[in-house]
Amino acid sequence: MRWIFLNYEMEEEALAELHRFEEKLRFQNLINENNPLSKQQMEDNLKEEAKKIVQKYQRESYNAIKNVFADILSVFTFIWLLIVSKKDIAVLKDFFDNIVYGLSDSAKAFILILFTDIFVGFHSPHGWEVILEGVSRHWGLPANHEFIFLFIATFPVVLDTIFKYWIFRYLNRISPSAVATYRNMNE
């Protein structure tokens, strides 16, 4: 028999699905007084559902493997585009610089506070957990909760430090009033 599950979490989910289906089937059989299913009919229904679950998780496993290769190809393509189109990137950077520096000081402060609260605020750990579990599922890996908690404990702190350094090193020089507005809005 070919492999079905890429990791143990997929296998546990499949077993839980089959168990829920079996319980539902038994419940429906118990409340159906007119036409109860025979043991053979229930077994046939369970086998049919198991085949559907196997097909579903085989597709998920194949998709996860395809995602890994597609993501690797995407990274190489992105790096190649960065190397090849330096002029286009410079134009794009100038465009974004004009947009960012054209904003009012309060708009800049608002964007800074929004960004920091989303990625390093007190409510961000759950968001990071969802993102990391989604990425691990995307690649067909089991979610390593120790790694996720370690990442959540360290990465937002590092990101916050880098962000504050950028604010007070570069933004202070370019737009001191935006930094003052940021400080006032953040308090």
Model confidence pLDDT, tens digit, residues 1-44: 456 778 888 889 999 999 999 999 999 888 877 788 888 998 99
| 80 Cβ contact partners less than 8 Å away, ≥ 6 residues apart | none
Q: Determine, yes or no, domain membership for 2.
A: no
pLDDT bin (cut points 50, 70, 90) of residue 184 is confident
Do 165 and 96 belong to one domain?
yes
Do 92 and 70 belong to one domain?
no
> What confidence score (pLDDT) does residue 52 get?
94
> What confidence score (pLDDT) does residue 68 get?
94
Q: Determine, yes or no, domain membership for 131.
A: yes
Q: pLDDT per residue over 67-89, tens digit each?
A: 999 999 999 999 999 999 989 99
**CA–CA distance, 160 with 164 (Å, rounded to integer):** 6
Residues spanned by the domain of 32: 8-82
Are the C-beta atoms of 108 and 178 separated by less than 8 Å?
A: yes
Mean predicted confidence (pLDDT) in 146-157? 89
Are the C-beta atoms of 138 and 62 separated by less than 8 Å?
A: no
**At which of 82, 98, 132 does a domain end?**
82
> What confidence score (pLDDT) does residue 186 get?
64
- Mean pLDDT of all residues in the chain? 86
Q: Determine, yes or no, domain membership for 121.
A: yes
Do 166 and 179 belong to one domain?
yes
User: Domain total for the chain?
Assistant: 2
Do 102 and 151 belong to one domain?
yes
Do 121 and 149 belong to one domain?
yes
Do 74 and 102 belong to one domain?
no
SS (H, E, C) 78-113: HHHHHHHCHHHHHHHHHHHHHHHHCCCHHHHHHHHH
**Has residue 138 got a pLDDT over 60?**
yes
Do 111 and 177 belong to one domain?
yes
